[in-house]
Amino acid sequence: MRTIDYRSEYNKLLTPEIIGLLTRIHEQKGQQLLYTETHKDSLTELLDIAKIQSTEASNRIEGIITTEARLKQLVMDKTTPQNRNEQEIMGYRDVLNTIHENYDYIPFRPNILLQLHRDLYKFNGPSSGGTFKNSDNVIAEIQPDGSQSVRFQPVSAWETPGAIDTLCNVAGDALRDETMDPLLLIPMVILDFLCIHPFNDGNGRMSRLLTLLLLYQSGYLVGKYISVEKVIADTKENYYETLQMSSSGWHEGTNDYRPFVQYTLGTIVAAYREFFSRVDLLIDRGLTKTERVAAIIKEHLGKITKAEIVAQCPDISEITIQRALAELVKNDDIKKHGGGRYTYYTWNEENPGSENRPLLEVQTLRNRRVGKERKSAIEE
């Protein structure tokens, strides 16, 4: 088992790109604290949406899926699982809830990791989770012809308990060191966890749950309101690419943490950006429903589907959203692409017409309001 020394690796991460991301996240953290203090009641909707999206996205990355209707019922505890996929979805939901509600009381220790893994598989039977792997495993890649190639050889089964014990001790000491930023330490810890690959199954989902746990314990709570797992799922190719880049040479202690650290910080920045966008829409109830739909599309990078818009507007019926989309298409404010279940929408950047002006005016008023709130908070 290689030696883990985060102090020696820390300064290598201080590149201009990573420092820029750190600066943005530190600023966003302060802004989020202001939002959560002044608009606490408005954020309940975001909590429920994030739980659904996080449970869906983290399981989808591993090929564990169910229908959208079943997913919502499972997350809201309104039904029982009907198959193995749904059993694992329910388990993820429960561990996610545990972390959301008790993160301050969950130490990063081997026995706690085993308990969380046990709960991840508690609907699959008593022998499915809660123990370290009993045989060596590999991280494989399926080639276009159907064959498999080994991408990474994790720590052997007999070394795993000792490796996890070392990881927890070193990580705990580093995270308590106030001279090191936890935002840089957390991705390194998660990369090492994935390289150890301590369980027969569920390592990827555990890594994402542990990412949230460590972020929450460090004061970065955006994952409670915006699904960090969905950001990862939507950029899955980059996730696996940076994971492979940073794990190369891991056993020899020559790996480069920077790609995975930079990717992780980028997902946090994206989650915060989405948080502020959604909160603005929630607290700006003066907007018409069509204007809210328009604002969501305008502020979304790239294409967006009706289902994604519905998820962001739980208080607006799907029929009303469909009417708003039709009106926006008719006015040439947005573009409609594809058809049927493959339909998606994009903002029409080529049309600076009159329909855009109300949105700009709303944004101006919103910026003024946020500025006043920040000034008031500083004065207090």
| Domains contained in the chain, CATH given | 6-279 (1.10.3290.10), 285-379 (1.10.10.10)
Q: pLDDT tens across 286-344, in order? A: 678 888 889 888 877 778 999 888 877 767 888 999 999 999 999 999 999 998 888 99
- Which two tokens mark 335? 């573009």
**Closest by alpha carbon to 202, among 87, 35, 108, 290?**
87
Between CA 292 and CA 365 the distance in angstroms is: 15
278-290 in b/e form (b: 16+ CB < 10 A) is: bbbbbbbeebeeb
**Closest by alpha carbon to 56, among 251, 255, 230, 248?**
230
Residue 41 has pLDDT above 90, yes or no: no
Q: Are 58 and 92 in contact (CB under 8 A)?
A: yes
Q: pLDDT tens across 224-256, in order? A: 999 999 999 999 999 999 999 999 999 999 999
> How far are the Cα atoms of 67, 81, 233, 309, 367 from residue 70, in angstroms, in the given order?
5, 9, 20, 19, 39
Helix, strand, coil: what percent of the chain each, to 5? 65, 5, 30
Between CA 195 and CA 46 the distance in angstroms is: 33
Average pLDDT (121-139) is 92
Residue 353 has pLDDT above 90, yes or no: no
Q: How confident is the model at residue 364, as a pLDDT?
A: 47
Angle at 186 between CA 263 and CA 96, to 5 degrees: 95
Residue 77 has pLDDT above 50, yes or no: yes
Between CA 47 and CA 100 the distance in angstroms is: 10
Averaged pLDDT of the chain: 88
Residue 371 has pLDDT above 80, yes or no: no
Q: How confident is the model at residue 284, as a pLDDT?
A: 62
* H helices present in 177-333, as ranges: 182-196, 203-217, 228-234, 236-247, 258-283, 289-299, 306-312, 318-330
**Sign of the dihedral defined by the CA atoms of residues 273, 279, 282, 286, in that order:** negative
- Which two tokens mark 189? 């810890």
Residue 148 has pLDDT above 80, yes or no: no
Between CA 22 and CA 319 the distance in angstroms is: 41
3-state SS assignment for residue 1:
coil
pTM of the model: 0.80
Determine how many CB atoms are found less than 10 A away from the CB of residue 188.
23
| H-run or E-run covering 140 | strand 139-142
Give the single-character DSSP code of 197: -
Query: Please, which residues bridge with residue 141 across strands?
Result: 149
Average pLDDT (90-103) is 97
Largest separation between any pair of C-alpha atoms in the chain: 68
Residue 374 has pLDDT above 50, yes or no: no
Q: pLDDT tens across 169-213, in order? A: 999 999 999 999 999 999 999 999 999 999 999 999 999 999 999
- Which two tokens mark 212? 């949230």
Is beta strand 334-337 parallel, antiparallel or unpaired with respect to 344-347? antiparallel
> How far are the Cα atoms of 176, 183, 202, 321, 336 from residue 340, in angstroms, in the given order?
52, 42, 35, 16, 11
Q: How confident is the model at residue 128, as a pLDDT?
A: 85
Whole-number percent of the chain with pLDDT over 90? 67
| Residue listed under structure tokens 């960090």 | 228
